[in-house]
Structure formats: C-alpha cells, structure tokens
C-alpha cells in the first residue's frame, strides 16, 4: 500500500514518517508541497515548522497546492494523519475543528509522554486496544489544543477524542486532548510523534508503530 508523506519547506520529520511507513510494511511515497497530484492510498502530514510557522503554525501550508487535493480527497474518505505541525495544518484546513496555540508555559516541550487511546475505530488506530496506554515523544511549542465549549462537548459526546494525555497536562490542551478525528473518522490529528517510537533502539518504546500498521490493515480490510 502506498502512503504519501508530504514535505513542506521547513518539514523536519518527513523522513522519519517515511521510515515508519516502511517499518510497518508499507510503501512510502514522497509528496512535494508544490504538486497537486496525490496518487496514494493514505497521506501523512509530518511534524516540523512548515514555512517557518509564519503567520500561524500551518496557516501558509494550508494553501499549498498539494493541500487542495488532499482536502478534497479527505472529504471523500482518504485516510489522513497529521502529526504535530500536520495537526496544525489540518485545523487550519478546517478538516478538523479547533486550533493549536502556544503551550501554557510558553516553552518548547520535548519529553516522552504517556497517552491513553480513546478511539480505536479510525484507520490509524485499529491496532490499539480501547483504553490502551502508550508512551511516545512529545515535542512542540504550539501544542495546546483549544476550542469553544460547544465544539469540545461535540468531540467528547461523539467519541472523536482519539488520544488523551495521562497525568499532568503538558501544554494546556482542553480536557488533556492529544488527538482528535473528524466526523467521518478518516482524518486524525495527533500532537505527539508516533514516528519516533517505532523501535526500541531509537525511541522510548515501539508504541508508535500501530498507527502505521493500522492504516495498512484498514486499506486491505
């Protein structure tokens, strides 16, 4: 299965995401921000500082030619995973509600973070058990998920919170939210970095790998 990983100017974790796709058994396809052709089975928007985070994180990337195609395909069911900066781009694209703002203490965070998986019905989370706790890296400066009360209630009531931080709130996100999904369930935004937890040698665990094996199984199942 072909999983596209988009590279924007300023992307940092595109190669890591490609490596995670290959580790899961998929074919990683590099997608360039300036191209509008997206001939893949799923898409990952990686972490980094796309376009230098000018204006707002993800605000310029949202208008890249590749995003016009991804937005349309996502509305038709294409699985899309946005990690960190990719999550910010998904919110700026209105594929996901809410926004990611400065961390509560205004400092950049880089730590191993425990999460609880609350939705294992998306293409990106099928290999997890409901309520499973995992540990993957968290690294961000603008990772605080914010939305109005009505949107927050909708996300909680509809089971669209995919993952929640365990323990102390690391960045001030409402309801400890670390990741959410759209109404269709095919688009997932996640602030922590599963691509940095696919093997024990180079990460705190292998807990991130199921995000990538899940989508491969979803596409053949």
Give 23-35 pLDDT, tens digit per residue: 999 999 999 999 9
pLDDT over 90 (residue 210): yes
Is 193 catalytic? The answer is yes
Exactly one of 92, 114, 142, 195 is catalytic; name it.
195
Structure confidence at residue 204 (pLDDT): 94
Exactly one of 84, 114, 142, 147 is catalytic; name it.
84
Asked whether the beta carbons of 187 and 179 are under 8 A apart, the reply is no
Exactly one of 33, 147, 193, 196 is catalytic; name it.
193
Name the residue among 128, 130, 122 with its Cα closest to residue 219: 122
Q: What is the pLDDT of residues 45-83, one digit of tens each?
A: 999 988 887 778 888 999 999 999 999 999 999 999 999
Q: What is the pLDDT of residues 33-51, one digit of tens each?
A: 999 999 999 999 999 988 8
Q: Where are the domains of the chain?
A: 2-220
Average pLDDT, rounded, for the chain: 96
pLDDT over 90 (residue 92): yes
Lowest mean pLDDT among 11-20, 45-54, 80-89, 199-208: 45-54
Is 84 catalytic? The answer is yes
- As a CATH number, domain 2-220 is 3.40.50.880
Predicted TM-score (pTM) of this structure: 0.96
Positions of E strands within the chain: 2-7, 27-32, 42-45, 80-83, 99-101, 109-117, 133-140, 144-146, 161-165, 177-181, 187-190
Q: What is the pLDDT of residues 100-145, one digit of tens each?
A: 999 999 999 999 999 999 999 999 999 999 999 999 999 999 999 9
């Amino acid at each position: 299965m072909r999983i596209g990983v988009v590279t924007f100017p300023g992307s940092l974790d595109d190669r890591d995401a490609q490596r995670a796709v290959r580790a899961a058994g998929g074919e990683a396809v590099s997608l360039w921000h300036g191209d509008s052709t997206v001939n893949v089975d799923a898409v990952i928007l990686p972490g980094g500082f796309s376009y230098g985070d000018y204006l707002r994180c993800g605000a310029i990337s949202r208008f890249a030619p590749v995003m016009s195609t991804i937005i349309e395909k996502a509305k038709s069911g294409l699985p899309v995973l946005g990690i960190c900066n990719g999550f910010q781009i998904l919110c700026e694209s209105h594929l996901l509600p809410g926004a990611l703002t400065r961390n509560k203490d205004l400092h950049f965070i880089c730590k191993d973070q425990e999460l609880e998986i609350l939705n294992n019905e998306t293409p990106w989370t099928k290999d997890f058990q409901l309520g499973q706790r995992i540990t993957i890296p968290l690294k961000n400066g603008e990772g605080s998920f914010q939305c109005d009360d009505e949107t927050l209630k909708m996300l909680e009531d509809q089971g669209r919170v995919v993952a929640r931080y365990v323990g102390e709130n690391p960045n001030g996100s409402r309801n400890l939210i670390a990741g959410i999904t759209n109404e269709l369930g095919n688009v997932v935004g996640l602030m922590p970095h599963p691509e940095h937890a696919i093997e024990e040698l180079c990460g705190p665990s292998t807990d991130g790998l199921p995000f990538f094996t899940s989508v491969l199984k979803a596409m053949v199942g």
